[in-house]
Amino acid sequence: MKTTVEISDSLFAEARSLAESEGTTLRNLVEDGLRAVIQQKKQRKSKFRLRDGSVGGKGLRPGLDWAGVRDMTYEGRGN
């Protein structure tokens, strides 16, 4: 498909020079660049997964709840 894209003169000159030095066409250089950017964007959109950081314990000590953990964390600080 043919299309028109407006880019700065300096970027065009740099791209043209690079294509020439690599023995390829400006078209191939632009297509390769677009493919690379699209692939990079797709990888960023992948869903975040938190690694499993469990240590194989058996949960909280008997008689201790999350409020107790909080209290132990802040024990001796502030009030």
Mean pLDDT by 10 residues, the chain (79 residues): 93 96 96 94 79 78 85 83
In a domain, 33, yes or no: yes
15, 30 contact by CB (below 8 A): yes
In a domain, 38, yes or no: yes
Number of domains in the chain: 1
In a domain, 16, yes or no: yes
- Domain, as residue range, for 20: 9-44
Beta-carbon contacts of residue 66 (< 8 Å; ≥ 6 apart)? 60
In a domain, 27, yes or no: yes
pTM score: 0.53
In a domain, 15, yes or no: yes
Residue in the structure block whose two tokens are 């300096």? 10
Residue type, 19: A
Query: How high is the pLDDT of residue 65?
Result: 87
Query: How high is the pLDDT of residue 35?
Result: 96
19, 28 contact by CB (below 8 A): yes
Residue type, 64: L
